[in-house]
A and B are shown apart, each in its own frame.
Chain A
């Protein structure tokens, strides 16, 4: 049916996502990564989108039935399902991005991120830019995975300007991953408490609510996963970028090259995590931080210290 599928001689790749790709920047980058990889190796690619735990499992087994060269899964929700499938299908190679199985498998390659390093740097920017000495975060759920966006953010801010405090709020409710109105209300609540720099780790839709609150409340926000500055120019300071596409490309290359079963961690040093403002295209990013070279310079120093190991950012998810 798909003409590319029949003609291509190279490897077949399947990407399974934990939720619909849509406007989710993290997943969009993943799709981009698998497409780039397929092109590079002259192979084919398919994307299976899941909506809930049941469909994650179904899609993963459907992917295995297709016997692709690599089955790529992004998102922490896959841990159990990949472990089960990897055990059942020792011949199948998996690339697991963003998390890893508790038990290592020879046919599962993991790639994990150290988002906390990026949040720390973003926090430093916030600390430097804050006039009130209060920074905040609107986070989808009160869970360690998501604390990576709040706690280091506060630590970075305090590091850059001692005395800066952090106020995190969590969305929760009936639909935490898709409730922009609530995200906005929470961001507004923070602003009411004097917070003027807010990290938005509120899901794709939720962050838009945070940005909107920023626009109305006259405060600043930070985005995650990709460059979200164009969504609300003048309000978004910077973003913690997760370069999933690069990571997927690396991982597929490694697996096709015969190296499997490793776990690789991507942080600032590996350039898996970065800030939009620290990237070469910062001037065209529409990010607020681009017009604060002094801030960028200081944050650049901090980044170098992280790379050199002089600063170690604690991972809140490993308590």
Chain B
């Protein structure tokens, strides 16, 4: 398979250049080539007019090229300073010069107003701050070319705004910035130029000022995409899920989840908005049983207290987790096996205690077909699918349970506009079939587009609740930042 097929890309000095494209279009691959992580089979890279060839990131770094990879390249066990200087540490008499390192990092933090503490362990930082550590790493290396692969995928609107502020300032210092993003509005807002890839080729390029959202979306997918679609409200019925006083103690007295109660009705999508790290993981753990918590959860009249994950699933819970690669699937196993999980103790896959091969196969094929999972077949290893297709497969598996209650976390993180449309439509259809859906998302636009009711989670508490009509970008965004309730 060709990830990149004769892609030409020219980026000027002091410019923010956006790169867009569907999942698996080859954006990350292209960036990796620029950063020396992969070698191109053909073609050349020129920097400041001179042809260069990076055999390794070390050479790219030396040439002033830095990259923030999709998903972070940080060490949780190390401090901010250690993460920043990693690989080009200041030394004194052969040993690490901690003082000099801290001084330099502090200075950079102050100059770029990044508001980080050099001594903090990265493990303890929220996602937004981690992103800044990544930027700090590039600044420390005095990168003239900054490559950022989907840096905003995990950020909230205010965080994104701050990041863009930093990026604009850097561009003003004559640095070159290459930005990969799936988010049309962001690209339109921040970039000077844009290039769109489709199937490993360039399908559109030009000054951002000349582009429209619809035009870019069409260039990415090859078809018209309805971008501003807000799905009509559902018709909520009985309460399917009720959570009462869920509490998860924290490390230093401050609970990670603090007395959270909520209900979800059949035929209703309840959106939980909030900046990542405000208790979303704990809320999901409390409901699914992956985490031991205080409080209780009642599902269709059945108290789930003390029940195992499996028993909760049997009681009518389906779950699309946040981390599709490690939690939601087994990347080395085949699609067939991945899709059988959860069905492997039930009819028709099992009869008289034995798994039946044909039924397992049919089950996989049915999901692949229904949910339009693009793969070479049920035998393909899950890990070889593109992110969007993995997500569709996981959705297919969980929706097929036809469970009364569905918990969905970050359903479209890192997924392209085409796949987002598909996934959103599925969720609404699922709701309209009478199921209850709890949607946890850091993507405000997603919350607003899908939710019949919006709850805002801030520092472990529900600080605000909006009906579909009340919920708008401004009000919810304010509550997410702790400005309401």
A and B touch in the complex (CB under 8 A): no
